[in-house]
Amino acid sequence: MSDIAIKVDNLSKAYRLGVQAQKSKTLVEAVVKGLAAPFRNFRRLQRLNTFSSDRNSDDILWALKDVSFEVRDGDVVGFIGRNGAGKSTLLKILSRITDPTEGRIEIHGRVSSLLEVGTGFHPELTGRENVYMNGTILGMKKAEIDRKFDEIVDFSGVERFLDTPVKRYSSGMKVRLAFAVAAHLEPEVLIVDEVLAVGDAEFQKKCLGKMQDVAGSGRTVLFVSHNMGAVQNLCPRAIALRNGEMVDDGPAGEVVRRYLNSLVQNSADAFSLENPDRRWAGGLRLVSGCVLDKRGNPTESILSGEPIALRFAYECDRELDDLCLKFTVYDQSGIAVTHIRTDLTGFSIRSTGRRGSLTCTLPRNPFAIGGYRVAVSVDSHGKMIDHIPGAIAFTVSDTVFFGTSQVPPRQFCTVYVDHEWSITNDVSTAAPPAKAVSAVA
Amino acid sequence: MNEEVVSRRPQGPVTIVEPHTGWRMIDWKELREYKDLFFFLIWRNIKVRYAQSAIGVGWAVLQPVASMLVFTVIFGRLVGVESDGAPYAVFAFVALVPWTYFANCLTEGTASMVANAQIISKIYFPRLIMPMAVIGARMVDFVIALAILAVLLIAYRIVPTPGVAVLPLLIVIMTMAAAGLGLWLTALAIQFRDINYGMSFGVQLLMYAAPVVYPASLIPDRYLYFYALNPMVGVIEGFRAALLGTRAMPWDLIGIGALMAALLFLSGMLYFRRKEHVFADVA
């Protein structure tokens, strides 16, 4: 078909790792080695980018291996994967910053890539000058920037400081100005890396909003992020990479869920008896813990406002009674957010079988956007028999708690609270402005 | 099938990304696309160089003038180097104007890629633009130094010969030599940091391989053409012939120099192109 925007064929990229040199055993050897060092270094530096003969030599790392996919015109595709999965390498090759070792890419249309906001910003230059500098580096023409200049400045909200050197800007102002420039690129193909990871929550929202506009305007967008919420919001399609290989490609929701599931299995280490942080006294043993989303699927990334559940599975070698399971949820700074235990609601547990699981359901997940850790322990007759401090990690990626797009600032809240508002207008006192009446609705 | 693409997006360019090995042609069309970036980088280099410095552009004056004073005292007075009949100060300054440009282009150009490694690893643009912008930005200093030279000539009541008509040609040779050697060293410096470390030292030594503090007439005739392989020899002696009239226009030296400069420039661009795709990985 004619509407292929990007075609990637068997793309591979190798990097050469540093290999530790052997230590010399004698002084003579050391001296000889020292004299030969310049030649050895020269060869090593020369070899940094040649991989002709030794494909499988052990100092070569394949950051990407045989990646192939096609992107249609107007598609918005998210790339996910753990650190080192090859996402950034792929974007760097797509943006022509670095060459592939093998394979080929064909891109139709004007490409802009945004691997960082504010590339080329110079602290000595003023805001105005940096807009031009950054804009031209991103591939805009001067005339184009002239035309969009007012819009860019408006969007950034730093017009008062336009003629101040950027080194006197706060980091927030710098990022806003830089993003304003980037937001006014008009490419047919846009490549975006984790640029949304900078700035405060409010700014991230603004970026996401702008990204949504771009994605909705029929342009082709490739987007890398660790923010699963953003990927699901923005991208109908996602591609997952693992160790340089493409492992999944499909509708974003499914790919993200499969990806997160694959991560949960890796957290089994916490429940290993070898875990040094674990305190286990025998009798009953916790074997796994996970967070379930509203459909009952294990996940690490959830929304607040939706029903979630925490499930702990256990094994025991004898019948136990008067058991109490309790868990504490800590936020990213290690502050306890809440503590929940089976006896709070008068729920008493007895274990009769050899294995089982306990599930605690929160009908409306109250945790604010951010990362959390859950510590779990089990008491029997008031005595702790198992304790795992890092049993579960989960991320609240977004919120539907209030049913609006409003989110309270993160620094003021760790949980969301159900509430209702009412208003009374007392007309008998000072005459209110006529407009205020319409607020009652 | 391909035609369909073309018809639907008449202006839509197609980008092909492939592994590159070996020599590549210069993509002039792409360079033209990035013309605005080239001029902004030149302007940024100038502005940043003199930002927050008390005498600002005065540095463009101070550097050659101070060198001239030192050379005049040491080589002109103490050592008594002959100066083909011209006052030694002017004799040295005429050489220092092109030489300072050449030397600064080399040191600054070489450092440009390493200093901007952050940018190179985050965005694509034709890498040639980076060192070329240095060559362009240093032109401002060169013009300022030329103006000082004019003042000096007036002060010494020296009337330039009709040979000044050759100056534009000499300036082209000078620029090509600076760009050519600069590109070679830049491409090497990003792979081997040794180049950076050796640069200021090397440039200092190189000065003695050009007739900056002494006249080319001191070089024995049988080595003269070998000596002229340094393209700055023809340029500097040409400047002297044109402005001071101390000698006839050395067309042989200029010819050899021009050939060398063109060779350096072409090979420098090609070598740079050959290596530019590794910059982001090794920078």
Q: Which of A263, A294, A317 is the last residue of a domain?
A: A263
Nearest to B118 by CA among B128, B130, B106, B108: B130
> A343 and A248: one domain?
no
d(CA A380, CA A382) in angstroms, rounded, equals 5
Residues B48, A98: C-beta atoms closer than 8 Å: no
Look at residue B178 and tell me whether its pLDDT is greater than 80: yes
d(CA A309, CA A270) in angstroms, rounded, equals 19
Q: A139 in contact with B at a CB cutoff of 8 Å?
A: yes
Query: pLDDT for A52-103, tens place per residue?
Result: 555 556 667 888 999 999 999 888 899 988 767 888 889 899 988 888 988 9
Instruction: Locate the domains of chain B by residue range.
Output: 34-282
Quote the distance between the C-alpha of residue A233 and its chain's center: 13
Q: A65 in contact with B at a CB cutoff of 8 Å?
A: no
Q: A129 in contact with B at a CB cutoff of 8 Å?
A: yes
Residues B17, A133: C-beta atoms closer than 8 Å: no
Look at residue A333 and tell me whether its pLDDT is greater than 80: no
Per CB-CB distance under 8 Å, the chain B contacts of A138 are 123
Chain B interface, best mutation among A6, A11, A99, A106, by max B CB count within 10 A? A99
- In the structure, what pLDDT confidence band is assigned to residue A363 with cuts at 50, 70 and 90? very high
Nearest to A291 by CA among A394, A180, A383: A394
In a domain, A19, yes or no: no
Average pLDDT, chain A: 81
CATH code: domain of residue A323: 2.70.50.60
d(CA B198, CA B221) in angstroms, rounded, equals 31
Q: Which residues pair with B95 in a beta bridge?
A: none
Q: Are A180 and A156 in contact (CB under 8 A)?
A: yes
> A203 and A281: one domain?
no
> A371 and A350: one domain?
yes
pLDDT, average across residues B88-95: 93
Query: pLDDT for A414-434, tens place per residue?
Result: 899 989 999 988 876 655 555
Residues B19, A95: C-beta atoms closer than 8 Å: no
d(CA A79, CA A66) in angstroms, rounded, equals 16
Residue A42: count other Cβ atoms within 10 Å of its Cβ: 13
Q: How many CB pairs below 8 A link A and B?
A: 121
Chain B interface, best mutation among A10, A48, A96, A101, by max B CB count within 10 A? A96
- In eight-state DSSP terms, residue A267 is G
Q: Which residue in B12, B34, B124 is closest to A108 by CB distance?
A: B12
d(CA A29, CA A210) in angstroms, rounded, equals 62
Number of H helices, E strands in chain B: 13, 1
Residue A280: helix, strand or coil by DSSP? strand
> A297 and A344: one domain?
yes
> A276 and A200: one domain?
no
Q: Which of A263, A286, A310 is the last residue of a domain?
A: A263
In a domain, A20, yes or no: no
Query: pLDDT for B120-176, tens place per residue?
Result: 888 899 999 999 999 999 999 999 999 999 999 999 999 889 989 999 999 999 999
Q: B37 in contact with A at a CB cutoff of 8 Å?
A: yes
Query: pLDDT for A283-317, tens place per residue?
Result: 888 888 889 988 888 888 888 999 999 999 988 88
In a domain, A431, yes or no: no
Residue type, A361: T
pLDDT in the model for residue B8? 45
pLDDT in the model for residue B263? 96
Q: A15 in contact with B at a CB cutoff of 8 Å?
A: yes
Q: B6 in contact with A at a CB cutoff of 8 Å?
A: no
In a domain, A34, yes or no: no
Q: What percent of chain B has pLDDT over 70?
A: 95
- In the structure, what pLDDT confidence band is assigned to residue A203 with cuts at 50, 70 and 90? low
> A170 and A245: one domain?
yes
Token pair of A336, please? Answer: 């306890």
Q: Are A284 and A323 in contact (CB under 8 A)?
A: yes
Per CB-CB distance under 8 Å, the chain B contacts of A163 are none
Residue A165: helix, strand or coil by DSSP? strand
d(CA A95, CA A420) in angstroms, rounded, equals 49
Chain A interface, best mutation among B31, B36, B194, by max A CB count within 10 A? B36
Nearest to A400 by CA among A287, A233, A272: A233
pLDDT, average across residues B217-222: 90
pLDDT, average across residues A192-220: 71
How far B280 CA sits from the closest chain A CA (Å)? 6
In a domain, A35, yes or no: no
Domain containing residue A68: 62-263
Look at residue B2 and tell me whether its pLDDT is greater than 60: no
Q: Which of A223, A245, A263 is the last residue of a domain?
A: A263
Query: pLDDT for B15-39, tens place per residue?
Result: 888 887 777 788 888 889 899 999 9
> A326 and A230: one domain?
no
How far A82 CA sits from the closest chain B CA (Å)? 20
Residue carrying the six token digits 């302007």: B43
> A99 and A173: one domain?
yes
Q: Which residue in B20, B44, B51 is closest to A99 by CB distance?
A: B20
Lowest-confidence region among A296-310, A323-337, B107-121 = A323-337
Q: B281 in contact with A at a CB cutoff of 8 Å?
A: yes
Q: Are B251 and B197 in contact (CB under 8 A)?
A: no
**Maximum average pLDDT range among A209-218, A365-374, A403-412, B274-283:** A365-374
If one compares A409 and B209, the residue with the highest pLDDT of the two is B209
pLDDT, average across residues A144-169: 90
Quote the distance between the C-alpha of residue A180 and its chain's center: 22
Q: How many residues in total does chain B contain?
A: 283
Q: How many domains does chain A have?
A: 2
Residues A48, B125: C-beta atoms closer than 8 Å: no
d(CA A375, CA A391) in angstroms, rounded, equals 6
ipTM greater than 0.85: no
Q: B219 in contact with A at a CB cutoff of 8 Å?
A: no
Chain B interface, best mutation among A108, A131, A144, A168, by max B CB count within 10 A? A108
pLDDT in the model for residue A380? 85
- In eight-state DSSP terms, residue A352 is -
In a domain, A254, yes or no: yes
pLDDT in the model for residue A254? 87
- In the structure, what pLDDT confidence band is assigned to residue A391 with cuts at 50, 70 and 90? confident
pLDDT in the model for residue B135? 93
Chain A residue with minimum CA distance to B53: A124
Nearest to B186 by CA among B122, B262, B273, B99: B273
d(CA A130, CA B33) in angstroms, rounded, equals 20
Residues B9, A132: C-beta atoms closer than 8 Å: no
Q: Which residue in B12, B47, B120 is closest to A188 by CB distance?
A: B12
CATH code: domain of residue A123: 3.40.50.300
Look at residue A439 and tell me whether its pLDDT is greater than 60: no
pLDDT in the model for residue A110? 84
pLDDT in the model for residue A382? 82
Q: B22 in contact with A at a CB cutoff of 8 Å?
A: no
> A199 and A341: one domain?
no
> A142 and A122: one domain?
yes
In a domain, A43, yes or no: no
Lowest-confidence region among A16-30, A318-332, B68-82, B142-156 = A16-30
pLDDT in the model for residue A398? 85
Q: A9 in contact with B at a CB cutoff of 8 Å?
A: no
pLDDT in the model for residue A40? 73
Look at residue A267 and tell me whether its pLDDT is greater than 70: no
What is the phi-psi region of residue B159: left when phi exceeds 0, alpha when psi lies from -120 to 50, beta otherwise? Answer: beta
- In the structure, what pLDDT confidence band is assigned to residue A265 with cuts at 50, 70 and 90? very low
If one compares B92 and A179, the residue with the highest pLDDT of the two is B92
Per DSSP (E only), the strands in B53-93 are none
Nearest to A367 by CA among A329, A324, A323: A329
Residues 178-217 of B with CB under 8 A from A: 191-192
Residues B281, A98: C-beta atoms closer than 8 Å: yes
